[in-house]
């Protein structure tokens, strides 16, 4: 009896507050927008029966997403921004993880803590901290103008570049930690052996270090790519009107245009897009677990 | 092992990148000028202004209430879920259950928020503190369950079996054997859930009503218009609280570690 209780409470909670809400999104995405409260039709009623209700559902909103180029442009641009910033995060995060793994044993715990610490501070504040740096009168422009590197202030805030910086900054711990975990386990005598056998340092790095940290790189990339795809805070604070991201489109569709059926359809398509990287990530993790045990 | 120049450079630049933005934020929160980017002199007046701003204080209170309730509820539910997943025998719908535990971790916040809002409207629940607590509990229980189950997997199950063999009821075995062993994971799960709740803007924005504004919602609507000195002061306070918390936590865990080492030595 107690066994059942342990399972049943979290099970019902997740059914009621995760699965059923998602079923509602799916249903509304197949409904039509209406001037009513709530603003969509059809409403389910027992008198009309489930048959009549189902008959009124259609894929109109999804067809609409393909005809209005705002949406597919937003999906493509989210994919592009997520992919580019994942690559940038990898290029910046890898050397940091590498240096951490090479650092003296007694430093490592502190370095780890320093990487994790920003994660505990508010995401919103970390994004916000870049607004003062990147704005036209911001600290970066003041510094560069003061040093005489540039004569005109750079326009970075409200561009894609600012979004990249924001994503790299907030998500880099997710890249560093798995790569560090992989490099940390790497047996350094392998590299010594390669160098003894005449490998150059760069060649040993490409032939030994990179392949052996492959799982860490893959895990890090997914951990950055997946959440970035639906990101809302970064594009709305650092991006401009030109940086389209699907999370922001969904938000505006819902709050500003009050078009619930289209917002729901946008959400359903986003989930469908996310399933591919999530399944690949899951497989990578499973392979890694099997390799370790 | 000695660090090469390349490694020293990447560590220095890397940590400068991670910490400089926040250090600048803290420094400029003591700037006298309302023009945030121009330094005119040291002043703590923005802190005074912040603490006399009733709207911010109310929002902070709401946020704290939501975080305490949701993280506590999430810890209970998440620990139960972890126990069910790791120790539970096969039960119908187990795959669905573990899917529902992992899916919220990767679900974009806008979608979680939207779907919960549609549910609350559908069942006619008034939106406010209660609905935010329900929403936060749902996604943070999944994080708690991941943290707790990694601890459950790694500890020796025969300890539980021994307790059962020696006549413990399953509940006593859980209370007297399992719970003390997984306690550190439960505590870190609670802390994680608490931070996630304090931090959340998107899901709270969807699930709240006019009666409850959380601190992130307040901050977001203020900074949308640009940098503001009050928000700098508020950010500094929040960074200070987190730093203090992490330092205290690491001191406690270090002391426990030393004590454990000491204990195991004297037992030998």
pLDDT score for B242: 85
Nearest to B223 among A131, A137, A263 (CB): A131
| Interface A:B, Cβ pairs < 8 A | 225
Please give the full DSSP string across B102-144, using - where no structure is assigned. Answer: HHHHHS-HHHHHHHHHHHHHHTTPPPSHHHHHHHHHHHHHHHH
pLDDT score for A62: 84
Nearest to B3 among A102, A129, A237 (CB): A102
Q: Of the given ranges (A149-158, B147-156, B251-260), which has the lowest mean pLDDT?
A: B251-260
Distance CA A145, CA A138 (A): 11
In a domain, B256, yes or no: no
Note down pLDDT in tens along chain A; length 293 residues. Answer: 566 777 889 999 999 999 999 999 998 888 877 666 667 766 665 565 666 666 667 777 888 887 888 888 999 999 999 999 999 999 999 999 999 998 888 888 889 989 988 888 889 999 999 998 998 888 898 889 989 888 888 888 989 999 999 999 999 999 999 999 999 888 888 888 888 888 888 888 888 888 989 989 999 999 999 999 999 999 999 998 888 899 999 998 888 888 888 899 999 999 999 988 888 888 887 887 777 66
Domain boundaries, position B131: 56-225
Distance CA A117, CA B216 (A): 19
User: Residues A165, B17: contact at Cβ < 8 Å?
Assistant: no
User: Residues B88, A7: contact at Cβ < 8 Å?
Assistant: yes
Distance CA A27, CA A35 (A): 18
Of A30, A64, A98, the position where a domain reaches its end is A64
Q: Which of A1, A2, A7, A75 is the best residue to mutate to test the B interface, defined by the most B CB atoms within 10 Å of its own CB?
A: A7
pLDDT score for B148: 93
pLDDT score for A49: 61
Instruction: Enumerate the residues of chain A whose CB falls inside 8 A of the CB of residue B36.
Output: 132
Measured in angstroms, the CA of A143 and the nearest CA of chain B are apart by 11
Name the helix (H) or strand (E) containing A41.
Answer: strand A40-41
Measured in angstroms, the CA of A97 and the nearest CA of chain B are apart by 9
CB–CB contact A10 B246 (8 Å): no
In whole angstroms, how large is the CA radius of gyration of chain A? 24
Measured in angstroms, the CA of A256 and the nearest CA of chain B are apart by 13
Beta bridge partners, A33, equal A40
Token pair for B233 = 């002061």
Does residue A269 share a domain with residue A132?
A: yes
pLDDT score for A207: 87
Does residue A288 share a domain with residue A207?
A: yes
Does residue A101 share a domain with residue A34?
A: no
Is the model's pLDDT at B37 over the cut of 90? no
pLDDT score for A46: 57
CB–CB contact B88 A251 (8 Å): no
**Residue that the structure tokens 């209700």 belong to:** A53
Domain count, chain B: 1
Distance CA A262, CA A61 (A): 6
**How is residue B178 annotated by DSSP?**
I
CB–CB contact B231 A230 (8 Å): no
Instruction: Enumerate the residues of chain A whose CB falls inside 8 A of the CB of residue B40.
Output: none
Does residue A32 share a domain with residue A150?
A: no
Task: Say what percent of chain B tops pLDDT 70.
Answer: 96
Nearest to B170 among A2, A92, A130 (CB): A2
Does residue A50 share a domain with residue A165?
A: no
pLDDT score for A196: 86
CB–CB contact A124 B216 (8 Å): yes
Nearest CA in chain B to A267: B111
Nearest CA in chain B to A22: B115
pLDDT score for B14: 94
Does residue A136 share a domain with residue A19?
A: no
Please give the full DSSP string across B190-228, using - where no structure is assigned. Answer: HHHHHHHHHH--HHHHHH--TT---HHHHHHHHHTT---
In a domain, B231, yes or no: no
CB–CB contact B111 A250 (8 Å): yes
In a domain, B195, yes or no: yes
Distance CA B189, CA B202 (A): 21
Domain boundaries, position A277: 68-292
Of A64, A94, A119, the position where a domain reaches its end is A64
**Residue that the structure tokens 């002199």 belong to:** B41
Q: Of the given ranges (A54-63, A168-177, B175-184, B236-245), which has the lowest mean pLDDT?
A: A54-63
Reported as a pLDDT band with limits 50, 70 and 90, residue B13 is very high
Does residue A123 share a domain with residue A252?
A: yes
pLDDT score for B74: 97
Is the model's pLDDT at B116 over the cut of 80? yes
Domain count, chain A: 2
Does residue A266 share a domain with residue A175?
A: yes
| CATH at B138 | 1.10.3720.10
Does residue A236 share a domain with residue A210?
A: yes
Q: What is the arithmetic mean of pLDDT over B42-70?
A: 92
Is the model's pLDDT at B94 over the cut of 70? yes
Nearest to B238 among A11, A125, A226 (CB): A125
| CATH at A235 | 1.10.3720.10
In a domain, B87, yes or no: yes
Nearest CA in chain B to A254: B114
Distance CA A103, CA B4 (A): 9
Q: Which of A1, A4, A12, A13 is the best residue to mutate to test the B interface, defined by the most B CB atoms within 10 Å of its own CB?
A: A13
Is the model's pLDDT at B181 over the cut of 60? yes
Instruction: Enumerate the residues of chain B whose CB falls inside 8 A of the CB of residue A21.
Output: 115-116, 118-119
CB–CB contact B108 A236 (8 Å): no
CB–CB contact A172 B220 (8 Å): no
pTM for the whole structure:
0.89
Which whole-number Å values give the CA distances from A150 to A83, A145, A165, B37, in the listed order? Answer: 30, 5, 20, 18
Does residue A160 share a domain with residue A196?
A: yes
């Amino acid at each position: 009896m107690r066994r059942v209780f342990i399972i049943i409470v979290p099970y019902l909670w997740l059914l009621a507050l995760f699965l059923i809400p998602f079923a509602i999104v799916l249903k509304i995405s197949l409904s039509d927008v209406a001037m009513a409260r709530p603003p969509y039709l059809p409403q389910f009623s027992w008198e009309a029966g489930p048959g009549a209700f189902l008959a009124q559902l259609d894929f109109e909103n999804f067809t609409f997403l393909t005809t209005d180029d705002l949406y597919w442009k937003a999906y493509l641009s989210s994919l592009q921004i997520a992919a580019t910033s994942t690559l940038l995060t990898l290029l910046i995060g890898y050397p940091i993880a590498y240096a951490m793994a090479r650092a003296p044993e007694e430093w490592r715990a502190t370095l780890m803590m320093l990487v994790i610490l920003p994660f505990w501070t508010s995401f919103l504040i970390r994004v916000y901290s870049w607004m003062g740096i990147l704005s036209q009168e911001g600290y970066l422009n003041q510094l560069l103008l003061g040093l005489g590197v540039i004569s005109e202030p750079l326009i970075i805030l409200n561009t894609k570049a600012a979004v990249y910086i924001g994503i790299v900054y907030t998500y880099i711990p997710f890249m560093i930690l798995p790569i560090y975990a992989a490099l940390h386990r790497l047996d350094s005598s392998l590299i010594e052996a390669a160098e003894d056998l005449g490998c150059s340092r760069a060649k040993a790095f490409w032939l030994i270090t990179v392949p052996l940290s492959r799982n860490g790189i893959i895990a890090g990339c997914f951990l950055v790519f997946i959440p970035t795809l639906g990101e809302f805070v970064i594009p709305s604070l650092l991006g401009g009107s030109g940086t389209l991201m699907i999370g922001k489109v969904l938000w505006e569709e819902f709050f500003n245009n009050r078009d619930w059926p289209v917002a729901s359809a946008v959400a359903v398509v986003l989930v469908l897009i996310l399933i591919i990287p999530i399944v690949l990530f899951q497989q990578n993790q499973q392979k890694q677990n099997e390799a370790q045990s | 092992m000695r660090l090469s120049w390349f490694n020293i450079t990447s560590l220095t630049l890397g940590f400068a990148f991670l910490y400089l933005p926040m250090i600048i934020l803290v420094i400029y929160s003591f700037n006298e000028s309302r023009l945030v980017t121009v330094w005119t002199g040291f002043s703590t007046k923005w802190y005074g202004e912040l603490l006399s701003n009733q709207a911010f204080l109310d929002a902070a209170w709401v946020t704290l209430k939501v975080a305490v309730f949701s993280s506590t509820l999430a810890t209970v539910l998440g620990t139960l879920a972890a126990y069910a997943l790791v120790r539970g025998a096969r039960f119908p719908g187990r795959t669905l259950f573990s899917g529902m535990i992992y899916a919220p971790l990767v679900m974009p916040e806008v979608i979680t928020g939207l779907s919960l809002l549609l549910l609350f409207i559908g069942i006619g629940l008034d939106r406010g503190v209660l609905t935010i607590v329900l929403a936060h509990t749902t996604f943070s229980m999944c994080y708690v369950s991941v943290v707790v189950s990694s601890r459950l997997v790694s500890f020796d199950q025969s300890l539980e079996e021994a307790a059962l063999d020696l006549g413990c009821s399953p509940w006593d075995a859980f209370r007297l054997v399992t719970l003390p062993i997984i306690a550190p994971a439960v505590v870190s799960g609670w802390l994680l859930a608490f931070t996630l709740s304090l931090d959340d803007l998107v899901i709270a924005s969807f699930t709240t009503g006019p009666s409850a504004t959380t601190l992130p919602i307040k901050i977001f609507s203020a900074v949308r218009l640009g940098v503001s000195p009050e928000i700098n002061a508020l950010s500094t306070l929040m960074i200070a609280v987190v730093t203090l918390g992490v330092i205290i936590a690491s001191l406690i865990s270090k002391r426990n570690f030393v004590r454990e080492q000491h204990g195991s030595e004297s037992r030998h």
